[in-house]
A and B are shown apart, each in its own frame.
Chain A
Amino acid sequence: MKSKYWREGEPFIWGSGAALALILLLTLSLLVVIFKNGMGVFWVSPLSHLEMKDGSTLMGEVVQSSVMSKRDDETRSQLKISNRDLYSLDFKWVTDSDVKQVTYPQDAILIERHEYGNFVGFLSSVALQNQPALPPGEYDTLLAGLDDVKAKMPELDGVKSQISDLNYRVESLDHKLAKLRFRGEEQSDDFHQLTMQKELLQAEFDTLVVTLDALQARLVQNTARFTDANGTMLTIPLSGMVRVYKPNSLSFFGKVSLYLQKVWELFFDEPRESNTEGGLFPAIFGTVMLIIVMAIFSFPLGVISGVYLREYARDGFLVRLVRIAVNNLAGIPSIVYGIFGLAFFVYGIGSSIDQIFFPAQLPAPTFGTGGILWASLTLGLLTIPVVIVSTEEALGAIPGGLRESSYALGATKFQTLTRILIPMASPGIMTGFILAMARAAGEVAPLMITGVVKLAPSLALDGQFPFFHLNRKFMHLGFHIYDIGFQSPNVEAAKPMVFVTTLLLLGIVVALTSTAIFMRNSMKKKFAIAD
């Protein structure tokens, strides 16, 4: 009986099942942690008003609670008291036994601001610059005033974008001037003309700056006064507010609508407050563009190399050596690729490009510094082995009979490759792409030295000619996680954003790979062979 139990491998079945279950459990708990923390960030939580036994008062959201000491059952809570400009610290631990009474005042107000984080307190008065007929009640006046200010924002943004446009034009003029100066043509007509143009632009620029200042000065006149939980007064300009609401009197649908607003902001807005608040659009854009540029460079190269290795190279010692080397390339630490990318692409190729094509700008580098192109190429190097190996394997899995049939019909090797083998291998090659993409999306280390930045002033793709600016630095979700999680001056405030960013990065990887898997499945169906 016992020998049969062992002979039939019952323990092995249990063991292998358990191993799988363990892995699933670990993955699942990771996902649960990310989802639980990431999804809840934008849900509005109530503001607690705490009256302490020593007579002071505090107000804020309860972020977490924990047991202080097991012995006497003491618990403490962490409160996000906000108002960084008043208290300098926006989080505070409170021992629960010191609290006399907790209330949830209906008129407690929360303001998301462009600076100094959130404000929590009570509204006392509103002062609008050109008081029109406003609805009664201070809070409604505030909301109406805020709408009014927001309506003026497009005008302001328009002026700002005009200024940045001008900036760009002045910059390119400067480049041309520098080129002429470099050639020693400072007396030429071109040079004078360009200088004139630049002066004109400069004048235009100055007027725009004046307009902008005037606009801003007018907006700043719209202010509101608030008191915090202790009665300290604070005046906040309406233009500094992003959003105002009363968390304790919001209905469920109000909370849902706020949640959706914030998710929208996350996807399509710029970050603020040193990346701990606001949107992630530049980082999302950078991540996706990085992967796409990488794919454009590395996938064709990898596939072609794989085809050569499998179909053309004569199998021998050298080919086997190359194959082993390619397999081992996948095991090199990514930071090593980063260093190679920095040395070879940035300092090698980039500096040479600068010397040949942009000598006038030197010593300011154009391509001789980290940028999205170099980071993509570095990631391309990193992922090429995966593509080569999967291409080779996919080609090797095609039955020999199909090749022979094709040759027997008078096809050349090239025709057989392009008409039969590569289409048939494409699902397998796609698998390689998927793996490569997932790996590239998750890499951070090599990017850190080849061009990723905390805050990129402009995207690598925009409306200014020549549209693609592959020499520009970029933002990346993976780096963002590291940056706000570990490099932020205000770690507590940044923590929710870490989870949100992680969730978003996971989402992007899932979206990219599932698109690829979808494509692969349709290819599989098309090129499946019967047994």
Chain B
Amino acid sequence: MKNDNRNPIIAIEDSIVQVRDLNLFYGTSQALFNLNFDIPRNKVTALIGPSGCGKSTFIRCINRMNDLVACVNINGSIQLDQQDIFDKSVDVIDLRRKIGMVFQKSNPFPKSIYENVIYGLRIGGVTEKPVLEEAAELSLKRSALWDEVKDRLHQSAMGLSGGQMQRLCIARAIAVSPEIILMDEPCSALDPRSTAHIEELIRELNGEYTIIIVTHNMQQASRVSDFTAFLYEGELIEFGKTTDLFTVPVKKATEDYITGRFG
């Protein structure tokens, strides 16, 4: 407990998202308590913590996926580009275009690989074929899938392996040129090799996109992220540079968690 007087939350100079006094309730039970922190622009931020600590709930706030769940109540604010995303004037469709998301279970649509990648553009009203084709190629290259699928773009995405599917989901998210990519445990259903692939991809995308990744795997967090936030029972315990958090954690709870004493 010797370090407890230090501030467990560091200030970020160039932040893209500012979370302020965020509380979230599922009906009457509170899931997030008074979260306050900034997410750095074009960096990878990892959210770690034991199951049920609110990591997924939190990132689902950022693109307002929780709107789809009945009986969720949110107060506080999340600022994106100086605009509160919960404000009534914000169009949730526009917001989600700015914020891509990759889920734990890879879930390509039952369409061709090509149609999967350009789905976001199509529903956004893009119809010019050259634009779509270029976007598809670029996104697939970005997500390191191009070489594997370039000869079968028009075959069903269901023929891909688990790791390929997950990279396809990343390509699909990238295709609409989002500012932020949310990743909710993107590797938890994958084998080690595919996991390595995805991690490499995250490192490559680092610097171009703001990535927020939820993970159970502490090694993964330390490998891919620049910043790490540790959540525990709905509260933000500690937030800082990944290197600092894993080597000199401020809070006792953080240290216990990353050394494997609980969680």
Within the assembled complex, what's the spacing in Å between the Cα atoms of A68 and B233? 90
How far, in whole Å, are A529 and B93 apart by their CA atoms in the complex? 26
Cβ of A182 under 8 Å from chain B = no
A419–B110 alpha-carbon span in the complex (Å): 10
How many residue pairs at the A-B interface have CB separations less than 8 Å? 73
Interface 9-residue window, one of A272-280, A383-391, A402-410: A402-410
Contacting residues, chain B, for A407 (C-beta < 8 A): 65, 68, 96
Min CB gap A432→B, angstroms = 20
> How far does the alpha carbon of A402 sit from the alpha carbon of B172 in the complex, in Å?
13
Selected contact of B103 from candidates A401, A411, A415, CB within 8 Å: A401
Q: Closest approach, in angstroms, between the C-beta of B221 and any C-beta of chain A?
A: 22
B176 interface residue, CB < 8 Å from A? Answer: yes
Interface residues of B in 93-134 (CB under 8 A from A): 93-94, 96-97, 99-101, 103, 105, 107, 109-110, 119-120, 122-124
The total of chain B residues at the interface (CB under 8 A) is: 28
Q: Is the CB of B93 within 8 A of A412?
A: yes
Q: A-facing mask of B161-192, CB < 8 A → 1, else 0?
A: 00001000100110010000000000000000
Q: A26 at interface (Cβ–Cβ under 8 A)?
A: no
Given contacts A527-B110, A529-B110, contact A408 B96 (CB under 8 A): yes
Given contacts A401-B105, A415-B123, contact A409 B172 (CB under 8 A): yes
A406 with B109: in contact, given A411-B123, A412-B93, A530-B158 (CB under 8 Å)?
yes
Contact A420 B176 (CB under 8 A): no
Q: Which of A419, A420, A423, A529 has a CB less than 8 Å from the CB of B158?
A: A529
A404–B123 CB distance below 8 A: no
**Closest partner residue, chain A, to B91 (CB atom):** A410
Given A409-B100, A409-B176, A410-B96, A399 contacting B123 (CB threshold 8 A): no
Looking at the assembled complex, report how far the CB atom of A417 sits from the nearest CB atom of chain B, in whole angstroms.
12
Min CB gap B166→A, angstroms? 12
Q: Is B215's CB within 8 Å of the partner chain A?
A: no
Q: B157: nearest residue on chain A (CB-CB)?
A: A530
Contact A405 B107, CB 8 Å, known A528-B158, A530-B158: yes
The answer to whether A243 has its CB under 8 Å from any CB of chain B is no
A498-531: CB near B (< 8 Å → 1, else 0) gives 0000000000000000000000000000111110
| Given known A-B contacts A530-B158, A530-B165, A408 and B63 have beta carbons under 8 A apart | yes
Chain A binding site: helix, strand, loop or mixed by DSSP? helix
Is there an interface contact between A419 and B123, defined as CB atoms closer than 8 Å?
Answer: yes
Whether A410 touches B120, Cβ cut-off 8 Å, given contacts A401-B105, A404-B65, A528-B158, is: yes
Contact of B107 among A314, A399, A423, A528 (CB under 8 A): A399
Cβ–Cβ < 8 Å partners of B63 in chain A: 408
Q: In the complex, what residues of A have CB within 8 A of residue B119's CB?
A: 406, 409, 411, 419
Per the bound structure, the CA–CA distance linking A522 and B101 in Å amounts to: 31
Residues of A within 8 A of B107 (CB): 399, 401-402, 404-405, 529
**A441 close to chain B: CB less than 8 A:** no
Specify the chain A residue showing the minimal Cβ separation from B97. Answer: A410
Asked whether A405 lies within 8 Å of B109 as measured between CB atoms, the reply is yes
Q: How large is the interface on A (under 10, 10 to 19, 20 to 34, 35 or more residues)?
A: 20 to 34
Once A410-B124, A420-B109 are accepted as A-B contacts, the answer to whether A405 and B96 lie under 8 Å apart by CB is no
Query: A314 — which chain B residues lie within 8 A by C-beta?
Result: 70
Question: For A423, what are the chain B residues with a Cβ–Cβ distance below 8 Å?
Answer: 110
Write the nearest CB–CB distance from A299 to chain B, whole angstroms: 22
A401 to B92, CA, bound (A): 18
- Per-residue 0/1 for B63-91: is the Cβ within 8 Å of any A Cβ (1 yes, 0 no)? 10100101000000000000000000000
Knowing A407-B96, A530-B158, say if A402 contacts B109 (CB, 8 Å). Answer: yes
Nearest neighbor of B119 in chain A, beta-carbon distance: A409
Alpha-carbon distance between A19 and B220 when the two chains are bound, in angstroms:
55
In residues 309-323 of chain A, which contact B (Cβ within 8 Å)? 314
Minimum distance in angstroms from B111 CB to a CB of chain A: 9
CB neighbours (8 Å) of B165 from chain A are 530
What are the residues of chain A within 8 A of B173 when measuring CB–CB? 408-409
Does A142 touch B at the CB level, under 8 Å?
A: no
Which of chain A's residues have a CB closer than 8 A to the CB of B94? 410
A419 CA / B119 CA spacing, docked (Å): 9
For B124, the chain A residues whose CB sits under 8 A away are: 410
Residues of B within 8 A of A409 (CB): 96-97, 100, 119-120, 123, 172-173, 176
Instruction: Report the separation of the CA atoms of residues A403 and B63 in the bound assembly, to the nearest whole angstrom.
Output: 14
In A397-435, the 8 Å CB interface with B consists of: 399, 401-412, 415, 419-420, 423-424
Given contacts A404-B103, A528-B158, A529-B158, contact A410 B93 (CB under 8 A): yes
> CB distance B103 to A405 under 8 Å?
yes
Q: Tell me, rounded to whole Å, the shortest Cβ–Cβ distance linking B220 to chain A.
A: 21
What residues of A have a CB within 8 angstroms of the CB of B172 in the complex?
A: 405, 409
Question: Is B109 a contact partner of A526 (Cβ separation < 8 A)?
Answer: no
- Of all chain A residues, the one with the shortest Cβ separation from B64 is A407
Query: When the two chains form their complex, are residues A526 and B96 in contact, meaning their CB atoms are under 8 A apart?
Result: no
**How many whole Å from A506's CB to the nearest CB in chain B?**
35
Q: A408-B63, A410-B96, A412-B93 are in contact. Are A526 and B123 (CB under 8 A)?
A: no
A424's nearest neighbour on chain B, judged by CB, is B110
A404 and B110: CB pair below 8 A? no
* Cβ contacts under 8 Å, B122 to chain A: 419
Which chain A residue shows the least CB distance to B109?
A: A420
Most buried by A among B70, B100, B103, B109: B109
Q: Provide the bound-state CA to CA distance between A410 and B156, in Å.
A: 22
Q: Name the interface residues of A353-412: CB closer than 8 Å to any CB of B.
A: 399, 401-412
Q: Other CB < 8 Å A-B pairs besides A408-B63, A409-B96, A410-B176, 4 of them? A: A408-B99, A410-B96, A415-B123, A423-B110
7 smallest beta-carbon distances between A and B, as pairs: A408-B101, A410-B97, A409-B120, A401-B107, A410-B96, A527-B110, A530-B158
- Sample 9 A-B pairs with CB under 8 A, ordered by A number: A401-B107, A405-B172, A407-B65, A409-B120, A410-B123, A410-B176, A412-B93, A526-B156, A527-B110
Q: Interface residues, chain A, CB within 8 Å of chain B?
A: 314, 399, 401-412, 415, 419-420, 423-424, 526-530
